[in-house]
Copies of this chain bind each other. A is one copy, B any other.
Amino acid sequence: MSGRPKLSDVAAAANVHPSTASRALDPALAGRLSPEVVERVRRAANQLGYSRNAIAASLRMQRSRMIGVIVPDLTNTMFPPMFRGIEDRLSADGYSAILANSDFRPAKEKAIIATYLDRRLDGLILASAHIEDAEQMDALARRVPVVLLNREIEKASVSAVVGDDRAGVTAMFAHLSGLGHRRIAHIAGPQDTSTGVARREAFLAAAREHGGEIDDRLIVMAETFSEQEGYRCARHLLEAGGKPTAILAANDWLAIGCLTAIEEAGLNCPGDISVSGFNDMPFADRVRPPLTTIRIPHYRMGFEAAAQLLDLIAAPTPQVSRTVMAPSLIVRQSTGPVSFD
């Protein structure tokens, strides 16, 4: 820890000036030096076990090659693959990622961002965008390159990478419709989340396009994206009048709750009622029956967000971009033809 050799030690050992040693160790600049000097410096560095002090370099260069990532809760299954995508892209350019969880708490998110700004990170990827105020977000984006992931903030001019919720819901609706379903219910996600809102709106649009009028009793709002809420909402649907033949849930957890409610009611899925999820989380293929769902390319979204951020950092005049990633329909066994009985 103490006797760590520094650049000037290497320079002394190689009998050159520190500046010369610096250039010799930088592949881009080594060409401007005579090959023998470069070789001599390299040899000395190896022998001393020299390793560049990235902190000193960062101070001088005004750039840390570190990116801050904030997620609401890493244990939510969508984030690990996203983070892998981020890290895979960043590490290719020699960047490292600092990761923190906001726990859905705006105050915690603010505190994390403050320490990130102190640390002079080169950019931020926010999968947890609780700064819902467009102005605050703009102010942040003016200080440091920012890319939102899986979230958007209307009217803020910040780059974002999101899944195409509308396309996913539309595809699922078409799938169910193609199986003959006419009474399709929707368990909507919390309406204070962008995905909850977007999916509900997409559902309404699809329903309008496919089949005329919409029965209000077929739309239930969940308070959270949880199994319990899925269960509660499904029971509500089953007990109310105008029973649906299919339920399009706003995410996999809600759909799993549905399955429980359906089984409990002595009904069969998909025989009596079809159920679809959203996200294709791990294990979605392992529940009974395996869940028909929409796969969101989480890894690629993370990768793309990191790519956008690196572009933003490199660009002389940063351009705000909005990238929408196409989801895909995964048909398993929780959806089937409508039964007429």
Residues of A within 8 A of B (CB): 1, 51-56, 58-59, 64, 66, 73-75, 77, 79-81, 83-84, 87, 91, 94, 96-101, 114-115, 117-120, 143-144, 256, 282-283, 286-288
Contacts and interface: CB of A to CB of B under 8 A. Distances in A.
20 contacts: A1-B144, A51-B118, A54-B115, A54-B120, A55-B58, A55-B64, A55-B120, A66-B98, A74-B80, A74-B83, A75-B80, A75-B81, A79-B80, A87-B99, A96-B115, A96-B119, A97-B98, A97-B100, A98-B99, A283-B286
Contact of A118 (B52, B77, B100): B52
A59 B55 CA distance: 6
Main secondary structure of the interface of A (DSSP, over half): mixed
A78 B53 CA distance: 33
Report, nearest first, the 4 A-B pairs whose CB atoms are least far apart.
A54-B118, A283-B283, A54-B119, A74-B80
B100 A87 contact: yes
Contacts of A56: 59
A74 B81 CA distance: 8
A184 to B, nearest CB: 25
Copies of this protein in the complex? 2
B117 A51 contact: yes
A119 B286 CA distance: 42
Nearest to A114: B51
B64 A75 contact: no
Contacts of A81: 75
B55 A119 contact: yes
A114 B54 CA distance: 11
A144 B2 CA distance: 11
Nearest to A77: B282
Contacts of A52: 118
Nearest to A256: B286
A117 B97 CA distance: 15
A58 B283 CA distance: 44
A288 B94 CA distance: 45
Contacts of A96: 98, 100, 115, 119
Contacts of A99: 83, 87, 97-99
Given A1-B144, A96-B119, 19 more contacts: A51-B114, A53-B59, A53-B120, A55-B59, A55-B64, A55-B119, A56-B59, A74-B80, A74-B84, A75-B80, A75-B84, A79-B80, A80-B80, A87-B99, A87-B100, A97-B99, A99-B99, A256-B286, A282-B283
